[in-house]
Amino acid sequence: VAVPTLVAGLSLSRLTPLPRDFSGLSLGEPLLFQFTSWLIFGTVPEGYSVNLHPMAFAAWFGLLATALNLFPIGQLDGGHLTYAVFGKRSTLITLSTLCITVLLTFWSRSWVVWTVLLTVMLITFGPRHPPTLDEDLPLDQKRIAVAFVAFLILILCFTPTPLEPLDLVEYP
C-alpha cells in the first residue's frame, strides 16, 4: 500500500523555494522515498524542497512504520524473522541493535528518535523471542529468501534521521 501511495503522493507534491529563515523539522528520506522522488522530480535544485502532498506524507509514515516493524525485536515481524534465521542468538542481535543506536546518538542527536523507539519496543515486547514448536527444523531456501527480501525492505524503508530539526541541517 505504501509504494503506490508514495508514487501518487509525490506526483501531487510540488517543488517550492526554501526560505533562508525557514525553521521546523526535516523528514529523513528512506532510499525508496529518495528513488521515487528522483524518478518524479529529478535532482531537486539547491535551495528548493519538495512540499509534500498529505498522501506523500502518509506514505512516508507508512515506510517508517514498515521499518519499525522489521526491527529485530520480540514479537515484531523483524523479531520473528531474526528468531527464525538465528534462533536463540536473536536476543544478542536485538540487544546489539539497541547498543548501536545508543552509541549513534553521540554521532547525531537525530538517532535519539530511534533509540527511544527501540527502548519503548524492548520494554513492551522484551528482548527475547518466545520459543517455537519447530525451532529445531532448519529453514529451507525459500524461507531464507523471504528473510533476505524482508531485510532488503528494511534497508529501503529505513532512514537514519526520521525527524531532524532544521537547525541541525546546514543549508547554503
Whole-model pTM: value is: 0.83
Question: CA angle at residue 33 from 2 to 41, to 5 degrees?
Answer: 115
pLDDT by residue, tens only, the chain of 172 residues: 899 999 999 999 999 988 777 777 778 899 999 999 999 999 999 888 898 999 999 999 999 999 989 988 888 899 999 999 998 899 999 999 889 888 988 887 778 888 888 889 888 888 888 788 887 888 899 999 999 999 999 999 998 777 766 654 454 4
78 to 90, 106, 147: CA distances (angstroms): 10, 25, 9
C-alpha grid cell, residue 144: 531464507
Q: Residue 165: what pLDDT? A: 65
Residue 41, H or E segment: helix 31-41
